[in-house]
Structure 1
Amino acid sequence: MKEKTQIPYYLGIDAGSSSVSWAVTDTMYHVLKCKGKAMWGVRLFPDASTAAERRTHRAARRRLQRRKQRLDILEMLFAPALNEEDPQFLARMHESDLWQEDKSINSKYSLFSDSNFNDCDYHAQYPTTYHLRSELAHSTDSYDVRLVYLALHHLMKSRGHFLYEISETSDNDSSLRDKLQRCTKGT
């Protein structure tokens, strides 16, 4: 049996983001051997990935859940007035994306089915929801509660996003303020 002698050695390790390598050398930097094999090597790993993609999906899921919750609250608040005006309005609206044979309500129209005002009249008067919103905002007349509900529904559903933070001291803010002041002064 041989006696094991201890000799001075160096252990070099390099740990990277996707690999670890090592080498064992003597004081003259010659690679040492153990059981006939050189004591050096590399282990490769798959590249690490950030959670950005997963976080994006999670944020989108939460955003959609909050939007659905806002619309449910709006519907709950307007339901009594809408049911008094048109008991089947919300049901027609919920089923507006279904084929006619899949609907529980047998109606030719998906929103308005009054004898004097139907979907054709609505779209002729308001080609987009923005037209309806503009008229409601700029008029002092009273409107059908269904029209008010549709405008508020659109506001709650597509209210924009606030994912990007804008610094309060950015140049864009000051130039925007200047432009608004010029518009209000009439210059």
Structure 2
Amino acid sequence: MKRYLRSQRSQSMTEFALIAPILFLFIFVMVDFGRGIYYYVTIQQAVHEGARVAVRWSYPLPADATVEQAVQQHAIATFLANPCRNGPIYVPGQVPPANEGWIFITQPQSSSQPLSAIQANPPPNAPGGEPQSGQAGNCSAINPASQNAALQITVRYNFVPLTPFVRQFTANSIILTAYTVYRTEY
């Protein structure tokens, strides 16, 4: 009887050794999935708060820095910066650093207008308190909003999974994008 019990113990250890890697992989994939959802929900809520700040009527009118500060305050445990606050949002080959995001305050993105038409007559792409300025380097010109213009607040976040196995299937990162469009009160 003792020999039988010892063989059963060895069998269960062997079964656990075969199943454990799959079980641990599943657990780590779930942790990465949970982290991804957390970051997406966090930046989505931060974008809404930033848009509320950008469109409200107040004295003085909000500026880019005020909106950026509101977004960063609500983006708990995420680092957000921005190379060009007022766009362009997507430049081929440029992504935020690992586990960081970029904040953009722009006009609502529309595929119906060609880029040349937008550059010739730029729509409002900044809160009313931001001073107007021309194009600087790769950054868009700043055209403050007025007359109930729509503004879009966008965050592009470069999420890097913890698990190397998941990183293999996502090309080392996943770009999470959250945006909201509100009309100004001024």
Larger radius of gyration: 1
More strand by share: 2
**Normalising by the residue count of structure 1, what TM-score does the alignment of the two structures yield?**
0.31
**More RCO (CA 8 Å, sep 6+):** 2
Task: Output the TM-score relative to the length of structure 2.
Answer: 0.31
1 or 2, which has the higher helix percentage?
A: 1
